[in-house]
Amino acid sequence: MAHPQDSLGSRSTGRQIQLETHGLDVIGDAERKGTPRTLFWPWFGANVSVLGLSYGAFALGFGISFWQALAAGVLGIIVSFLLCGFIAVAGKRGSAPTMVLSRAAYGVRGNRLPSVISWVLTVGWETVLTSLATLATATVLSRLGWGGGTATEAVALIVVAALTVVGGVMGFDLIMRLQTAITVITGVLTVVYVGLVAGHIHWSTVGALPAGSAQQFIGALVFMMTGFGLGWVNAAADYSRYLPRGSSGRGVIGWTTFGASVAPLLLLVFGLLLAGSSTTLSKAIAADPIGALTTLLPTWFLVPFAVVAVLGLVGGAVLDIYSSGLALLSAGVRVPRYSAALFDGALMIAGSVYIVFFADSFLAQFMGFLTTLGVPVAAWCGIMLADLALRRRDYDEGDLYRPSGRYGDVPLPPLLLTLGATAVGWGLVTNTAADWLTWQGYLLEPFGLGGKSGAWAYANLGVLAALALAFLGTLLPGRSRVRAQEERAPSPAPNEGVCSNEGVCSA
């Protein structure tokens, strides 16, 4: 999951690269440009990654057949990115990042709860991407005979972390100058990769994979949703906020969903065929998702493929640090953006050290991370979608930064609903492969679903339950609240009683 945030509004070419000091900036009407069609490229570039191939092994790991995994992947990818498309509509209705726009539902300071969740999610993703890049680099160097073992992994982590932290602190100018080229090169080399390893596909082996149960299918479906679109919803409006207010809402939804889905769908199909053809490869992907894919390659293509794969992961981690810095500001931390990025970089390095050097299985930790955070993110998404569906007018931008404005300061209903939906959701998911998550699943037995060892234990129903509960809990009683907000006269320009770009609220 790379974050191409701000690429619609960035005009970095022709500007000297410099330290970015902006925080939670509002995009003025004079800077809003483009059409919904332009949303295709940032979303496509963010999701055309060889990591999509590894999701084939992840899906088959639920014990389902090729056709079941394909159906779960297609549904999970399209539906989850469709949720991103819906939330992207908020961008053209307002002019602020997603986690500022959600203040309309949570209140100005009440929104700090989902901002913290968003921060943890983005820090987690940058850690995952950095770990993958480190493992892939070490695998390639080992195959080339240039080293191996702990020392090689340590050097790889230092290089990858340095690139990521420096890029994240500097901001978008540095990475955006390379985005188009990296996207094109990655796409071309992925096609070359497919051609080189197509001979490893064995159709008879893939077709012989036994079908799994309905519960296993649902588990794979939810995992694909959390691995793709639900990992993006907390930033989905960041890209569309540069569009003119009169842009087509259907166009925003359509181009967001299409741009984000098309590359993962194609990569997933080939990844399923590869993983379904070789149990050995499938197991290797669980430990090293990117590095394992390079083991099928001839030596002459190994370096260019690995370099592009690692650059794509580093580029994603760089932009994740930027997004996590914004989330930290939105949570109320009073520091400049670049300081927040440095802090997040330190956490990223610590997490990467654990995954690379101490975790027994990358996949176990990755699935635990996605499922656990997928529950509160799904709850936030449900509230955000319902609030957006109830609105008929654009956001009042001044009141998004004013605790005394129409959106309130710390309204209790959305906060309690988020906590309640999350509690129910965590009670309906399990991940026994990750020791730190064995406490989950406490509602499976009381709800008659067979307990933590029953058929529903790995269906991850909690993600869907949190999404539905939060959506209905906001939609049904929220109409009068939204109407009262929209009937108020427009607020004056935000100059007093607002929250600053660093998240500081003044009197």
Q: What pLDDT, on the 0 to 100 scale, is given for residue 318?
A: 76
pLDDT single digits (tens) 226-272: 989 998 899 888 778 878 888 898 999 999 999 999 989 999 999 99
- The pTM of this model reads 0.85
pLDDT single digits (tens) 72-128: 999 999 999 999 999 999 988 887 888 999 999 999 999 999 999 999 988 888 888
- Nearest Cα to 5, choosing from 19, 30, 25? 25
Report whether pLDDT(394) > 60.
yes
CA 170 to chain centre: 22
pLDDT-derived band at 501 (thresholds 50, 70, 90) equals very low
Within 8 A by CB and 6+ apart from 179, the residues are: 4, 7, 45, 315
The whole-angstrom separation of Cα 496 and Cα 28 is 19
Helix (H) or strand (E) holding 336: none
Report whether pLDDT(12) > 50.
no
Which position has the token pair 């002019």? 95
Q: Six-digit token pair at 8? A: 């619609």
The whole-angstrom separation of Cα 458 and Cα 441 is 9
The whole-angstrom separation of Cα 45 and Cα 55 is 18
The whole-angstrom separation of Cα 256 and Cα 324 is 21
Q: What pLDDT, on the 0 to 100 scale, is given for residue 153?
A: 86
Most confident listed range (186-190, 295-299, 308-312): 295-299
Q: Which of 220-229, 401-410, 496-505 has the lowest mean pLDDT?
A: 496-505
Q: What pLDDT, on the 0 to 100 scale, is given for residue 146?
A: 78
Residue ranges in 358-427 assigned as alpha helix (H): 362-390, 412-426
Exposed/middle/buried for residue 479 (C-beta within 10 Å: 0-12, 13-18, 19+): exposed
Q: What pLDDT, on the 0 to 100 scale, is given for residue 294?
A: 83
Higher pLDDT, 495 or 417: 417
The whole-angstrom separation of Cα 237 and Cα 139 is 37
What average pLDDT does the structure give for the chain?
A: 84
Q: Six-digit token pair at 278? A: 């070789």
- Domains in the chain, CATH or no CATH each: 29-487 (1.10.4160.10)
Residue 280 phi, psi (nearest 5)? -60, -45
Report whether pLDDT(291) > 60.
yes
